[in-house]
A and B are shown apart, each in its own frame.
Chain A
Amino acid sequence: MDLPIVYYNETEWAKTHTGNKVNKKHAIAGTQNIVIAGKTLIEEGVTIRGDLATVKIGKFCVLKARCDIRPCLKIFSKKPTMCNVIIGDYVYIDEDCIVNAAQIFAFVHLGARAVLGNGCVIRECSRVLPDTVVSPDAVFPPFSTIAGNPARVIGTEPMCTENLMTEAMTMYYDNFVPRQGATLVP
């Protein structure tokens, strides 16, 4: 199914010059350490703790309502550091996810209410099903379907996931239009 057109109220959203659309009701801390590549949608209630470490988010990402991105804690020879979070391009993070991961690579789809443990790494083109709990320090290979509590690889994703995610995310961004009254091309 094609993604539907979503209308938003222009007063509630801020648009940056790189094309990011950020809802004004967010809980983002430490904006100077957060780098978003462009054309990303950040919905309401999203928490990004940029005060703890730098957060890099790729282009055409979608962060749905109330998700939480926190840098993970790593202890190197008795010195604790919050390691930087790097999220790739074309990533879809569904509602209420809690991401304590060290890295999320490109073309990943995180289902609703997923909990990614401290320092885990999700490689490209993977999908995390809703309500999964990924244990800390887990690494998953590309094209894996991850589900369960504790999380396990239960299947492989179709090999054309890269094209599918690119198409889906660009369609999502293009269909996210401000409410203007007249309906345009569907």
Chain B
Amino acid sequence: MNAEYLWRSIVESVARSNLIFRKKVHIMTDSSRVSIATSTIVCVEAEIKGEVIIKEGCVVHPHVVFDATNGPIYVGENNIFEEFAVIRNNSEGQPMIIGDSNIFQVHSKCSAKYVGSRNVIGVHAHLEDGCSVSDDCSIGPKCRVFSKQNLEPSVAVYGPSNSHRVTSTPNLTPTLQLEFLRKILPSYHHLYNKKKVTAAAQ
């Protein structure tokens, strides 16, 4: 199957569903193009620039950078973004789509055009511009996925020379971790939602 065709069809279907989402749930004022769902926890120290849509249930730790100045970023449900993760859209106007239940670990850099669901992007991992990662993959620590690489489902990238391997055991879903984080983080950090709403109201 042509990988390019597959990617295009996925992008278009997700973009359509996200457009519907944007029209329905409009929390922020018109001046800001960032829309974050109510159950998502985003710490104030995170930097969000440009058009970013984050769906329910996500947890964004402090010092995460969402850079959507060149193109929009659409993030699905129940993702975890750990410290210093950089999600940057380097393409010209094309949307970057991230699916559900992913874990972006500390210092990971994602510039991929499409990331599926239930992936684990390891510490210091680097997804370069233009690559796409489908579901249930795991990118090991300090590994790279080069641009124009399209990873099949259930692939593990590991080792210093980025070897690939098709796996049969799925990753542990972050649901349990998310429950814990959602209870703990609000008591130690100022959250993005409340601050922005109070600032807009004044």
Contact = CB atoms under 8 A, between A and B. Distances in A.
A80 B123 contact: no
Interface stretch (B67-75, B89-97, B126-134, B176-184): B176-184
A33 to B, nearest CB: 9
Query: Chain A interface: which size bin?
Result: 20 to 34
Interface residue SS majority, chain A: strand
A75 B176 contact: yes
A115 B141 contact: yes
Given A29-B189, A80-B177, A115 B184 contact: no
Interface of B: 45, 62-63, 82-84, 106-107, 123-124, 140-142, 159-160, 172, 176-177, 179-180, 184-185, 187-189
B185 A51 contact: yes
A30 interface: yes
Given A29-B188, A70-B106, 16 more contacts: A27-B62, A29-B189, A47-B63, A47-B83, A47-B84, A49-B83, A51-B185, A51-B187, A68-B106, A73-B177, A80-B177, A98-B107, A115-B123, A115-B124, A115-B141, A149-B142
Interface residue SS majority, chain B: loop
Contacts of B84: 47, 68
Contacts of B62: 27, 29
Contact of B159 (A75, A100, A149): A149
Given A68-B106, A150-B159, A27 B184 contact: no
A70 B181 CA distance: 13
Contacts of B107: 68, 98
Nearest to A149: B160
Given A75-B176, A80-B180, A98-B107, A27 B63 contact: yes
B159 A98 contact: no
Interface in A15-40: 27, 29-30
A30 B188 contact: yes
Contacts of B82: 70
A153 interface: no
Interface string A51-95: 110000000000000001010010100111110000000000000
A79 to B, nearest CB: 8
A98 to B, nearest CB: 5
A98 B179 contact: no
A42 interface: no
Interface string A122-139: 000000000001000000
A75 B188 CA distance: 22
Nearest to B187: A51
A3 B83 CA distance: 33
A169 to B, nearest CB: 26
